[in-house]
Each structure stands twice: as structure tokens, then as C-alpha cells.
Structure 1
Amino acid sequence: MNTLGARSIHLSLVCYLASALILMPHLPWLLVLVGGACGWWRLRVVQGLASLPKPRWVKLILLLMVLLTLCLSYSMDLFDKLVNVVMLGYSLKYIELHQRRDLEVFVLTGFFLASFSLVFSSQPLAAVLALLVCFIHLLLLLTLDVRLSFKQGKMLGLWLLAMSPLAVALFVLTPRLAPLWKMPRPDTAQTGLSEVVRAGDISQLIRSDKLAFRAEFSQAQISTSLYWRAMVLDQFDGEQWTRSALAKQIVEPPDAPLTTLPSYQLLLEPASNNWLATLHPSVLNGSGAQFQADGSWLRSGDSFARQLLRFGQLSDAELQPLPQAEQRRLSTLPPGTPDAVSRLASQFSAQATAQSSVLRTEQAIAAMQQWFLAQAFVYTLNPPAYPAWLGVEDFLLRQQRGFCVHYAQSAVVLARLMGIPARMVTGYLGGEWQQPGLRISVRHYDAHAWAEYWNGQRWLRLDPTAWIAPDRLEFNLQQSPSTAAQWQNIHSWGQGLWYSQGLNQLRLLMAQADFWWATWVLNFDQTRQLSLFSRLLKRLPGSSLWMLTTSLLLLGILLSAVALAKPWRWRLPPAELRALRWQLYLLERHDIHRRSGETLDQFVARVALESPKHLAALRQTVRAYQQRRYLE
């Protein structure tokens, strides 16, 4: 028996489309199309324009749809397959959507799909869309008992808003315990930097404006040139740069000295690798990362979701000797070095005449810098191809147009040819300030490469890009005067519009909202919860943790109760009405009740017969009320 009306089916189609939209990037379009067709067929059945299929046809359709879903999701990861199976059940539910319990199952499945969308994306907009989908499903559930109207939808929305203070209190107070099980993460993480770098690899990252991480400083930063050091590439085979086994060794981090610079925290985005980009040198406050022999940090664990890590930036790196064997390894190059490049390096070495090895190294590096500045080098986002060793010669002596990785590679090669230990470093440079000096966002197009050389006492940073394009130290690629036009040309018109000056304020506002969401909601772990409680207890001396927890919970209940009761809309009834209610109350105590549908005049006439002694007071009160109610 069909108990659902066309209005409920229409709204269920809206629910289906809303659920499909928030999951569309992860669903086969054919599956969504089949679900829409099933909903349209159910609507025609309710309207009497179609009939129910026979059971054997229903079984055949179910079998075909299951096989189709398995084929379409064969190459997907486990979580995407799970979502597709649930979406299949959600779509085929239209075949038997004709009773109240069927619609309830349909709504509950919609809630599950809305929660699945938050696994794919943890942005504030994704949470808003998921809440909107849940709200539409609640409206669908409401149609089972009332005739849906704008007033009913408004009332449901106000009730949900009224319960939000209690929900916030429960979120803050509920113990943040480790999960008993983990849902399989979808394979949607960003690629980011790689352990293997060829000339031109990093230039591919500038085409992506995806967020890599955010940083927030405890005190305002004076310097605008922030080098986020991710990994060290110290092996070169003539074509590509890789990391040695020595650099990958996990070691104990250095002890923090008594004097440190202001601390900072990194809000890391989901990633497919475990690299951390930090200011060098830094020390980890807490857990969640491992320290490597080359001074870089790795994220701990086997999955890399959004994570909040806190670091203290050290004032300077410790002076540690570099073994002679390691110095020789980092000063050698594979066979095939072009003769012209070797002669150029010899020219720089000849200008280093100081007695001290440290001074000779600095003189050789200074000579190399002067040569670069005297040439017609150009920093470009569209460099030509420079394959292997011939590419180094072609870049230095003929084309002289390249990206940061070409300059860094050339500096390392020239330094090694001069007998100076050197290595390439990849990471990010700068970022976009949301709050100048305090909060910055770093995206993939901020990827950068530079060099480090050993001066005989310590490792020093060497960035040839700063010689050729000094404005790159102050601005990112889409803001720098020398690269802004190039950056716009290699990106879509949508990205260009989003990063335009007209939408800049809106974009920064949304980035700030996302930072707040990720910090206080997504990363509100046990450490942050206890820290919040500690700060509250300091502001409330003498209060115990139990009293604080109870007070916050009661405050949430009180705010929700006030929002539901709306005391600001209360109006004191007129004196005549209050007097009439009092008389009716007194008569009820004498077992004289006003009957349903009985007018006041009829009630007065009946009281005159049943209890004459109460007649005078009741008649006077009724007369005063009627004059106020009907004559004024």
C-alpha cells in the first residue's frame, strides 16, 4: 500500500540531488543517473502514471546495478567503493519507497552520505553543505507528520539553532579520546615535493594553488623571507637529485638552547608523503614528528591527515663537525661534467686567495655571485628543457633562463667543482600573509629550491634566485612584479579571477575562517582541550575542574533553553485576563470546570445554578474581560 504522497517524493528527489552533488567528484555519473531515473519512476507510480514492476524484474535490476557499481568502482580505493555501495542502496531505495519506514531508512542513509562527504573534505564550506543536506532530509522526515510549509521549515531551523549552545558545550566537554578504530582514508592527498628531483620538477608545482600548510607565530616576524626547509638532496647522478641513506637516518633532535626565537605552530594539510617544511633550525614541542640526520623533520604515522604541530625556532644551528669522508662525498660529482662548466668553476677558485679555508670558501662563493650578477640571467616560470649534464652547461653559458631549481642545481655543481661541500634543498619560500607577521598560508606554488654549502664550520644557505630575482624574497609568484603576468598565463581564468585584487579581501576572510575551523574544531584534540581548561581555571581561581565542567554544561543547557523559550517575546497578559484565569482556577478547586466549547456566558449561567455563592465574583470578572476584549 502506497502511503507517501507526491510532495514527499518531490522533496526526496531534492535530497537525492543534494547528496549526489556533495559527493559528485567521487561517484560515477552513471550511478547518479540511475538513481535519478529510479526517483522519477517512483514519482510516476505515486501519480498513478506507472505501475510497480514484478518481483523477478526487481531482482534482475538489483543484480545488474550491483555488477555495474562494482565495475565502475574497480579502480577506486576502498573508501570510494564503500561510498558507491551506500549510494547504490540509496538510489535503489526508490523501488520500495512507499511506506513510512522506507522513507525513514532513506533519510538515515542520506545522513550517512552527508557524513561521508566530510571524510573527503574538511573545509568549512564542506561542513556547511553537509549540514544543509541533513537539514533537507529532516524536512523530508517532517512531511510524514505535517504538511510542509515555509513556516514549518523556519521553525525546524530555529529549533536546530536553539540547540547549538548545548551542542557546542558537549563538543568542548566530551573527553577527546583516541579512536577505537579508523575509517579508511580516501586517496585524495596532495602530492607535494618528492625525494627525486630533476630540473623542472618543482616548476610543475607552481601550477597548483592547493594549500600545503599554514603557520601561526607566537610573536610577529620581522623578516618577510621565510625559508620552509623540507628535505635535503645530496646525491647527483648527472640527471637527478636524490637523498642518501645517511641523510635519511632518524636521530635524536638537538637540545633546545636557553635562548630561542618565538615559537610557531604548523597546521598541515592532508598529504601523500610525510615531509615537514619547517624553519631551520627548529625543535618540536610535543610529539608527532621525527628528526633526521640532515636536519629535516618527518611526520610520524602511516597516514597523513590534517595535523597541528608546534615548533620552537632556534636562534642558530649547533656547530657540528662534518667528517672528512662526508666532505669528500659532498664535493664530488659523477663523470660527464662539461669542460666549460669546470673551467668556469676554476675561474672562481682562482679568485679565492685567502689563507684561511673559511675565507677562501667565502671568496669563491662571492666570485660566483658576482659572475651571476654580471650575466643576463632571467628568472622565468616557463624555462626551456635542460636535460642532464648538457642542460647545466646550456643553462649557465647559453640560455641563462630558468626557474629556482636550475639556479640551485648550478650553484651546487659549481661549488662542488671548487671543492666546496654543497647540497640542494627543497621546500617553500614565503607564503601569503593573512595577518602580517603572525599568520601565513603556504601553497604549492610557493615551492622553492636553494643550495647549502659547508664553509668549514657550519652549513650556510645559498639562494642564487635571490641574486637574479630579489623581489621573489618579498612576494609570492602571483604577487611578484616580475612573475605575476607569467603566473596568470599558466593558470586558468578561474584561478586568475579568484586571486585578483577585487576578490582578495573575500579570499583572505575565507582563509582566516578555515584556519579557525581547522584549529578549534578539526584539531581540537586532548592536548588542546586540556590547555583550554587550564586557561579557564587560571581565570577562575578556586574552581575545580569538576565545577568548571558542570558550569559549562549547565551554561549550554541554559542558553539552549532560553533560545527555545524566547523570553524576549513574552508579554504580560492584561489584568482582566489574569483575573478571569484566577476565577476559573478557584472554581476548579471547587470541582466546577469549564467544559470544552462552552462560552463564558453559558458557563456563568451554569455556575448560577450549581454554585450561586461564586456567581457575583465570576460575573463581574467576565463582564470586565468582555469589555476589554470586545469593546476596546
Structure 2
Amino acid sequence: MLAQELQLSRRWQQLAVALQFSILLLFQNAFTLWSSALFLLLFGWLLLRLYQQAEPLSPRQINWLLAPLLLLLFWQARSIGAMNLMFHILLLSAVGRSFSLKLRRDAIQLLWVQYFALSCGFIFYQQMLMALLIFGLLALNLMLHFQLFAPNSSQLKLKPLLKTVALALPIWLGLFLLFPRLPPLWQMPNQQQASTGLGSELDPGSIERLVQNDALAFRVSFNGPPPARELWYWRAKVYEHFDGRRWQEHSRFDRRQQQLTALATPASSNSQNRLDYQVLAESSFQRDVFSLGLPLSWSENLQPRPAALLQSTQLISQRLSYQVSSLLSPLPLVANAERQLNLQQAGNSNPRSQQLAMQQQQQYGSDGHQLSAALATLFREQAFYYTLEPPRLGADAIDQFLFQTRSGFCSHYASASAMLLRAAGVPARVVGGYQGGDWQASQQYLIVRQRDAHAWVEYLQDGYWHLFDPTAAIAPERILQGLAQALSEPERALLSGWQPGWLQQLALQWSHLDYLWSVWVLGFDQNQQSVLWQQLAALLHYWPLLVAISLGVLSLLMAYTLLRYRQQRLRQQQAPDHWRRQVLSVLPPPGQSAEPLSHWLNRLATANPGQAELLQQLRQHYEQLIFAGNQQAAYPLQQLIKRERKQLRALKRP
């Protein structure tokens, strides 16, 4: 019976179902609650049938089972999304195949479907831990593949497996480095809003909700020493439309700005304030990216936006690595329309705040520097409080904040400051992004988390947008040390994340490994591959030296291989079994395989008196070599066997 006709063991089928359940967990980002529950019911029924040792379903029964489920998936295709629908169908085909498994040949298609499904897991996850998990599941599927064709009693041997991996590793590395890097062929569908990060509008409370999330936002490595911490203002959003309560992005941010590269003069580009850095942004399902100051140049996967912002050319559904060169200086005004846009006010809302702004304008004029300094003094010297749990505000939110509650977070202070500056005749806008981060001195990179989300103000003075952060006046610890240092002890408990201890350190060390994985593996894109090809092309100028080195290395390898072969051959020649086989190869086989060779030669000499002398010489050389340990007898024994082969083969058996 062929191996493919043998029946599958229950253990093999149980492992296959467990692997499919792992695939379901991997695809949770693509599954809805009802579809996950549906697949759980299928898995439960499948396990029950395995426990009861029920007969496999026929193809007709499988069709009746899967057809309604497939129609239900197509009916929900619009809400699921085309790409996610493919993942549903992929897993459904694997589960359906499991209901009909009986013989080993039935499982071949299932294994290849599971290979493909596990590989699709990299669409959802780029973290190193998840990559190790997916590789582990692929190894489990490979083991199932081995058990499918191997005899039942055979075991997977580790040493040959490691040799195979060692031989395949250079090939895999060469393909990874030299095979053309293709851009993404698709984007994940059905992400109507960002899963993390800032939204398109900013109202009191939006930042507070975000900073209670300890998830990674992005990581940064600098080409050189990092700038001072008080300069870590990572711009992502600019809010210019104010309705009296909330700030929103203007419609101009939906159009691409082409003239951004011309904003910086050649003199400013060579300034000491220029900073080069690489950002590794986490998946946010937005297009906005993070940059410092005025971007001068950026990677090909980015494009400019108004207000000196940058965005990704595609939705950030996976980790995104990009490089930026920025100038740490005020941003130049692009056009007079930008000035007029940021002077607009929200009608008759917040009357008390407008009256305060008019009083300040009478005292300081429309000088943005003096007005912002006056606002900082107001927040610092009067009874204002920085808190993560501010009171709820009504329609005239700015009036309530400035004259009643006087407790708020960064969005409260930024919103009030921008409104007061506009009312005093100074163009101003609110900027959303991130401030600060955790600098990893040992690894030389910056970790920025969602809890570092921040809002501040940019006001126009003398043709440049200047940064003003009212939070620095009310809570300077927030800027210089981080959010936790600016909060009270009860409010720190609202921040998620590891508590201090060995678990926190372990998580941090793993984060370092994950960062290296992302930079050197996931971040190896077309640009880096082009640089590698250029470096390899530059080495061609030294081709005589490279050829000489290659020939030398190849000669050493061949000499080593030849030496190992001769040593192995010598050990074989020294072994008694080897020479016994050599002698018996030209003699009639003995009646008993365990009969001593010397005894068999003596019996042959008695039965063949004409060849007795030849047989005695053969016996003497053999005994000198084997029993006396005389290695010099090996050569005459070998020559005698070769020279007298025909006569020895013609001997009669006794």
C-alpha cells in the first residue's frame, strides 16, 4: 500500500485543527465578532467529531455545509472588505478540508493552504515576537508535512535538520539582500478612522483620552547627538478652524503643497540647526507622520502638506520607516492667505475671553512675542492647574476654562492661548503632535509613546511662525521631564503601562530587540538595497584582488575537503570490516557470514591446492594488517587482490 493511502492518525488531525485555530487568532484584525464566533462553532464541531471518531464528511456534505457560510460572507463583503474576505475564505477552505480528512493524500492540499495562510500573517504583524510566533507555527506545519510522508516509527533527526538549515541560510540571506524589493501591492481596507494618534479635530478631552494609552507611537534615531529635550516637538497636525469650542483642520490640508522645498534658503539649509534623523512609525491607519521644525528633505515614501507637515504616500497600515532632514527654526509664512485664515474668530462666542484679549492688545499691541509672554505669566502666576481630569466644559469653553474651572490639560491651554492671540490681532493656530519621549542612552534612540501626545500654539510674528507652549509655563516638568512628573500621584495611576520593576526592564529590553528587527529587517527597503548595490558595484574596481581572495578561499576549502576525505578514507582502510569486505569481494562467499576470514582462506586452500600458495599470501598480508597492526601490509594486500582478481573469483567452494 502506498504511503498516501494510509489513514491519518487522530493526533495528526488534532494538531492540524490546533494550527487552524492559531491562524484564526492571527487573523483577528481581519475578522469581525460574528465571523470569529462562526469559526469557533466550526472548530468545536470538528473537535467533537474527532473525539467521537466519526466518519469524514463526503464532498456533497462539505458543499452543503460551506455554501451557506460562503454566501453569508459574500453578503457581508462590503462591511468586511475585499482583502479581509479573502482571509475568511482561506480559513474556511482549510476548515472545510479538515472535515473530509481520512487518508494522507487528503491532507496535502490542507498543508499548502496552511503554509499560505500563515505567511499572510505578516500582513498584520511586523513585531519581532509575532514573527517568531509565525515562524514557530510554520515549523509546526512543516512537522505535520514530515509526518505525512515519513514512516510511523521514524523520528525527525535534529542534526540533519540543522545541516539543511545551515545550507539554506546563505541562500535565504542572499535573496533577502539582493532580490528586488517590491512596494506594497495593497493596503488594508475598512479603516475609516485612526486606531491611534491624533484625529482631524481637537477639543477639550481628546488629548487626555489619548495620553492614557501607553502604546508605541514611533521611535527615532538621530545622525549625531540628539537635540535638547525642550526641542522635541514632533509636529503631526495643524488646526486652523475654530468654532468656539473645538479646533479642526482646514480643507487646504487635503491638497498637496508643492512649494515646501523652496521655503528654506541655501544659507539656512547649511545652518548648524539642521538635524538628520530616521523615524520608525507604528501602524496608525493614518497618513500623517511626525517631524521636527521645518522639513528640508524627506524619503520618497513621504510627501509634503501645508504648514510644513509631512504625510505618507499611503495609509500607514504597517510599520513605516522614513528619513527626514529638518531645520530647527521658526517656520516661514507661505502666503498672505495663511495669515488671514489664522485670524478668523468664532463669531460672538466666549465674550469674556475676547474682552480679555482686547485689554491685552491695548497694553501690548499686536506683538506676538509680548502677548505670548503675557499669557505665560497669566497661567503661571494665577490659580491655574494642570490636570489629567479637568471638569467638563460647555458651549463657551474658553470662558469657562479661563474664568471658572481654571483646570485643564495641554489642549485646554493651547486652545485658550490661540483664541486669545487671534482676538488680539495675532495670527495663531493650534498644533497637535507629540512632545518628549524616553531617550535610550544605551541604544541611542528615542521612544515616543501615545502618552506623549501634546498640543501647543504657533503664532505669526515678522513673517515666521513661532512656537509657544503654554504648558511650559503652567507645568514645566511636563516639557523637561515627561508627563508623569507633571501629574499628581493619583493621576499617575491613570497612565497605563508597566509598573517599575523587573517586568518593565524585561519589556524594555525586548523593545530594543524589536527596534533592531524593525530597522535592519523590516526597514530594508528599496533605497537601502540600492545603496547596497552601489557598494557592490564600487567593489568591482578591485576585481583582481577579489578574484585572488576568492581563489585563495576556494583553494583552502578544497584542500580542507580533500584532507577530510583522505582522513576518512584512511580510517575506513584501517578498520577490520573494510579489509574483510575487500578480501571477500573477490572470493566465494563463506557458508556462514560469521566465519573468521583466516579460517575460510585455509578451507579454500585445501579445496584448491593449485592456488594454495596465493591464498596463503593473502592470509599472511591480512593477518599482518589486522592482528599485527602493520599498516605497511595494506598496500601489498590491495595490489594482490587487484592483480589476482580473476584467479580468486574462479576458486571452488569447499
Q: Choose the corresponding residue for 2:593, options 595, 598, 607.
A: 598
Q: Choose the corresponding residue for 1:309, options 322, 325, 328.
A: 322
Partner of 2:579: 583
Check conservation: 1:206, 1:446, Cα contact below 8 A.
Answer: yes
Partner of 2:494: 489
The superposition leaves residues 340-370 of structure 1 with CA deviations (integer Å, 9 ceiling, x where unpaired) of 21232233234327xxx7xx44223222221
Partner of 1:521: 521
Q: What is the DSSP-based 3-state SS (H/G/I as helix, E as strand, rest coil) of the residue aligned with 1:101?
A: helix
Partner of 2:398: 392
Check conservation: 1:274, 1:304, Cα contact below 8 A.
Answer: no
CA change 1:599–1:376 in 2 (3 A) is farther
Q: What is the DSSP-based 3-state SS (H/G/I as helix, E as strand, rest coil) of the residue aligned with 1:410?
A: helix
Worse overlay, 150-159 or 330-339: 150-159
TM-score, normalisation: structure 1: 0.82
| Structure 1 position 455 matched with structure 2 position 461 | yes
Worse overlay, 448-457 or 189-198: 189-198
CA change 1:455–1:584 in 2 (3 A) is same
Structure 2 Cα separation of the partners of residues 396 and 474 of structure 1: 25
| Structure 1 position 274 matched with structure 2 position 282 | no
Structure 2 Cα separation of the partners of residues 142 and 51 of structure 1: 25
Give the structure with the higher percent helix. 2
Partner of 1:203: 208
Partner of 1:366: 373
Worse overlay, 501-510 or 570-579: 570-579
The superposition leaves residues 261-313 of structure 1 with CA deviations (integer Å, 9 ceiling, x where unpaired) of 33101112223221121001122244222223311112224665332211112
Check conservation: 2:301, 2:313, Cα contact below 8 A.
Answer: yes
Worse overlay, 158-167 or 440-449: 158-167
Shift of 1:544: 5.2
Worse overlay, 184-193 or 379-388: 184-193
Partner of 1:628: none
Shift of 1:131: 0.8
| Structure 1 position 136 matched with structure 2 position 136 | no
Partner of 1:426: 432
Check conservation: 1:576, 1:621, Cα contact below 8 A.
Answer: no
Structure 2 Cα separation of the partners of residues 330 and 402 of structure 1: 24
Q: What is the DSSP-based 3-state SS (H/G/I as helix, E as strand, rest coil) of the residue aligned with 1:230?
A: strand
Partner of 1:250: 257
Partner of 1:231: 237
Check conservation: 1:4, 1:100, Cα contact below 8 A.
Answer: yes
Structure 1 Cα separation of the partners of residues 522 and 356 of structure 2: 54
Check conservation: 1:332, 1:419, Cα contact below 8 A.
Answer: no
CA change 1:339–1:161 in 2 (3 A) is same
Shift of 1:393: 0.6
Check conservation: 2:111, 2:141, Cα contact below 8 A.
Answer: yes
Shift of 1:585: 7.5
Shift of 1:384: 1.9
Check conservation: 1:431, 1:446, Cα contact below 8 A.
Answer: yes
Q: How does 1:466-615 map to 2 (within 5 A)?
A: 466-477=472-483, 479-480=484-485, 482=487, 485-489=490-494, 491=496, 495=497, 498-534=498-534, 542-543=541-542, 578=574, 580=576, 583=579, 587=583, 591=586, 598-599=593-594, 601-602=596-597, 605=600, 609=604, 612=615, 613-615=617-619
Structure 1 Cα separation of the partners of residues 297 and 23 of structure 2: 41
Q: Choose the corresponding residue for 1:289, options 302, 305, 310.
A: 302
Check conservation: 1:195, 1:243, Cα contact below 8 A.
Answer: yes
Q: What is the DSSP-based 3-state SS (H/G/I as helix, E as strand, rest coil) of the residue aligned with 2:85?
A: helix
Q: Mind listing any 5+ residue stretches in structure 1 that lack a counterpart?
A: 626-632
CA change 1:74–1:527 in 2 (3 A) is closer
Amino acid at match of 1:119: I
Q: Choose the corresponding residue for 2:390, options 378, 383, 386.
A: 383
Shift of 1:219: 0.9
The superposition leaves residues 181-208 of structure 1 with CA deviations (integer Å, 9 ceiling, x where unpaired) of 8245254663422222222222222233
Partner of 1:630: none
Check conservation: 1:537, 1:543, Cα contact below 8 A.
Answer: no
Identical columns (%):
25
**What value does the CA root-mean-square deviation take over the aligned residues?**
3.8
CA change 1:490–1:482 in 2 (3 A) is closer
Q: What is the DSSP-based 3-state SS (H/G/I as helix, E as strand, rest coil) of the residue aligned with 1:185?
A: coil
Structure 2 Cα separation of the partners of residues 606 and 185 of structure 1: 81
Amino acid at match of 1:466: A
| Structure 1 position 439 matched with structure 2 position 435 | no
Shift of 1:463: 0.4
| Structure 1 position 32 matched with structure 2 position 63 | no
Check conservation: 1:579, 1:621, Cα contact below 8 A.
Answer: no
Q: What is the DSSP-based 3-state SS (H/G/I as helix, E as strand, rest coil) of the residue aligned with 1:294?
A: helix
Check conservation: 2:218, 2:280, Cα contact below 8 A.
Answer: yes
Amino acid at match of 1:185: M
Q: Choose the corresponding residue for 2:225, options 212, 220, 223.
A: 220
Structure 1 Cα separation of the partners of residues 288 and 572 of structure 2: 77
Amino acid at match of 2:383: A
Structure 2 Cα separation of the partners of residues 447 and 417 of structure 1: 27
The superposition leaves residues 595-622 of structure 1 with CA deviations (integer Å, 9 ceiling, x where unpaired) of 9993472586159638613222223334
Shift of 1:56: 4.9
Q: Mind listing any 5+ residue stretches in structure 2 that lack a counterpart?
A: 605-610, 630-654
CA change 1:231–1:104 in 2 (3 A) is same
Shift of 1:499: 4.8
Structure 2 Cα separation of the partners of residues 517 and 166 of structure 1: 19
Structure 1 Cα separation of the partners of residues 79 and 544 of structure 2: 51
The superposition leaves residues 388-444 of structure 1 with CA deviations (integer Å, 9 ceiling, x where unpaired) of 4x1111101110111111100100111112111111111111122234794112222
The superposition leaves residues 192-249 of structure 1 with CA deviations (integer Å, 9 ceiling, x where unpaired) of 2222222222222223333222211011214013000112212212232223345655
CA change 1:62–1:168 in 2 (3 A) is closer
Structure 1 Cα separation of the partners of residues 505 and 67 of structure 2: 52
Worse overlay, 462-471 or 514-523: 514-523
Amino acid at match of 1:143: Q
Greater Cα radius of gyration, structure 1 or 2: 2
Check conservation: 2:62, 2:96, Cα contact below 8 A.
Answer: no
Structure 1 Cα separation of the partners of residues 445 and 148 of structure 2: 50
Amino acid at match of 2:593: E
Partner of 1:629: none
CA change 1:137–1:312 in 2 (3 A) is same
CA change 1:29–1:460 in 2 (3 A) is same
Q: What is the DSSP-based 3-state SS (H/G/I as helix, E as strand, rest coil) of the residue aligned with 1:351?
A: helix
Q: How does 1:396-415 map to 2 (within 5 A)?
A: 396-415=402-421
CA change 1:597–1:164 in 2 (3 A) is farther
Structure 2 Cα separation of the partners of residues 369 and 396 of structure 1: 13
Check conservation: 2:223, 2:276, Cα contact below 8 A.
Answer: yes
CA change 1:411–1:383 in 2 (3 A) is same
The superposition leaves residues 478-508 of structure 1 with CA deviations (integer Å, 9 ceiling, x where unpaired) of x4252564243364xxx4xx35343232222
Check conservation: 1:268, 1:307, Cα contact below 8 A.
Answer: yes
CA change 1:489–1:204 in 2 (3 A) is closer
Structure 2 Cα separation of the partners of residues 340 and 595 of structure 1: 118
Shift of 1:19: 2.9
Number of residue-to-residue matches in the alignment: 594
Q: What is the DSSP-based 3-state SS (H/G/I as helix, E as strand, rest coil) of the residue aligned with 2:49?
A: helix
Shift of 1:155: 4.8
Amino acid at match of 1:82: M
Partner of 2:116: 112
Amino acid at match of 1:469: A
